[in-house]
Structure 1
Amino acid sequence: MIDTIIFDFGNIFINLDPKATETSFAQLGLNNWSNDLVELNHLYEFGKIDEYKFITGIQKHIPNADLVAIRQAWNAQVADFPLKRLEFLQFIKAKYKLFLLSNADQTHIDHFEHKEGISFSRDFYSCFEKTYFSFDIAMRKPDERVFQLILNNHNIDPKTTLFIDDTPENIEGAQKAGLKTWLLNPVKEDVTQLFDFLETLDD
């Protein structure tokens, strides 16, 4: 019997459109997301550098672009957050212990909060016992330790805990920690179909 659920954020609650960022950066003159930029992104998601160092790090590859334009391009991938998903969370929060676990950076989270508004963001966060962002805890999925951190901090039994994510590598990390998992396909599935999935889990 599942009594605890740990959710990813992107493509589970808020929709993501990476191609929008690719297109925006291409318009600024950046056509290749190099290994240097991958590493820079990881450092930012780990909270090891601040937004200014991240944005200026990208600017080195497109020196003619200003910092505001680069931030806007980076945030272009943050799309809509369907209201039905928030309403679903509010419906189930009395039945389950809920946690949010996301590989995220401060820029994207700030943009989400500004875009959706203070009231919506507050209502969303209030559904969870605790939110875990990689830039706050200096750990990222799929590292097994990040799942163990949540289990230990809240005295959670992994056998009664479900982790929901749209990335296979993250699912594998959760499985190593002993959690039940749902690899959600955002093209075909929606988190509001949770109860349908739980029925298959109990079979």
Structure 2
Amino acid sequence: MIKTIIFDFGNVFIDLDLEEALQYALKTFKIESISDEMIAFNSLYEQGLVSTDEFLEFYTENFPKLSKEELIKVWNYMLKDFPEHRLAFLKELKASSKYKLILLSNTNELHINWIKQHVLFYNDFKNCFDAFYLSHEIHLVKPNKNIFEYVLNENRLKGNECLFIDDNKDNISTAESLAIKTWHINPKTEDVAHLFNIKNHLFD
């Protein structure tokens, strides 16, 4: 029986456009591909292992013609809409008191600051959760197994009593290795607000 639902954030609640963001970055940086060094530094930032100032300094050194404001725009370009009906779904779920609700997201300070500024109901959203884990705050990232073990241990959960919802296949695979039930959501065709229509069999 599912007692806890663990949600990803991006492409579950807030829409992302990763491809458009990549193309915008390549055009702005005037490069053909994202370098291994950039990918590695981005990962360090997402884990909170470098500060926002250090992160921006890295990009300023590599792309000195761009201002910090332009760099922040590139970084946040993937963030799109947060449809309010998903908040309504979450509030109903919270009010039912049937499940422990946890957010588990790979995110960083610049992204969360943008969300706080542009998603006016962010505090209402956050308050729906019993636990709220952002990778840069706990210094762990998906799809590594240790971040899932951390959540299970911190909340004294059994894997087979949890449902994990994420759009990333690697994250889903790691969760399944810990006996966690999963929904590999397709953000183009599925909506988290339809959870009990699409995955009703998991709650029997």
- What TM-score, normalized to structure 2? 0.93
* Paired residues of 1:4 and 1:162 also in contact (CA < 8 A): yes
Residue 30 of structure 1, CA deviation: 4.2
1:187 aligns with 2:188: yes
1:6 aligns with 2:38: no
* Paired residues of 2:116 and 2:122 also in contact (CA < 8 A): yes
Query: Over the residues paired in the alignment, what is the CA RMSD in angstroms?
Result: 1.4
2:100 is matched with which residue? Answer: 97
Q: Please list, as runs of the form range in 1=range in 2, the aligned pairs for 1:50-69 lying within 5 A after superposition.
A: 50-69=51-70
Whole-angstrom distance in 2 between the partners of 1:29 and 1:115: 28
* Paired residues of 1:5 and 1:162 also in contact (CA < 8 A): yes
Describe the superposition over 1:17-65 as per-residue Cα deviations: whole angstroms up to 9, x where unpaired.
1234234321343442111100000000110101111122122332110
* Paired residues of 1:28 and 1:62 also in contact (CA < 8 A): yes
Residue 161 of structure 1, CA deviation: 0.5
Residue 160 of structure 1, CA deviation: 1.2
1:113 is matched with which residue? Answer: 116
Q: Please list, as runs of the form range in 1=range in 2, the aligned pairs for 1:104-143 lying within 5 A after superposition.
A: 104-117=107-120, 120-143=121-144
* Paired residues of 2:2 and 2:202 also in contact (CA < 8 A): no
Q: Secondary structure at the match of 1:60?
A: helix
* Paired residues of 2:46 and 2:108 also in contact (CA < 8 A): yes
Residue 127 of structure 1, CA deviation: 0.6
Aligned letter for 1:97? K
* Paired residues of 2:45 and 2:136 also in contact (CA < 8 A): yes
1:78 aligns with 2:82: no
Whole-angstrom distance in 1 between the partners of 2:75 and 2:20: 9
2:30 is matched with which residue? Answer: 29
Residue 2 of structure 1, CA deviation: 1.2
Deviates more, 1:66-75 or 1:6-15: 66-75
- Give the gaps of 5 or more residues in structure 2: none
* Paired residues of 2:46 and 2:107 also in contact (CA < 8 A): yes
* Paired residues of 1:44 and 1:105 also in contact (CA < 8 A): yes
Q: Secondary structure at the match of 1:49?
A: coil
Residue 147 of structure 1, CA deviation: 1.0
Aligned letter for 1:50? S
Whole-angstrom distance in 1 between the partners of 2:159 and 2:64: 48
- What TM-score, normalized to structure 1? 0.94
Question: What is the aligned length?
Answer: 201
* Paired residues of 1:5 and 1:161 also in contact (CA < 8 A): yes
Whole-angstrom distance in 1 between the partners of 2:31 and 2:64: 10
Whole-angstrom distance in 1 between the partners of 2:18 and 2:203: 35
2:202 is matched with which residue? Answer: 201
Cα gap change, 1:89/1:97 in structure 2, threshold over 3 Å: closer, same or farther?
Answer: same
Describe the superposition over 1:97-120 as per-residue Cα deviations: whole angstroms up to 9, x where unpaired.
100001111100110110112xx0
Identity among equivalent pairs (%)? 37
Residue 130 of structure 1, CA deviation: 1.0
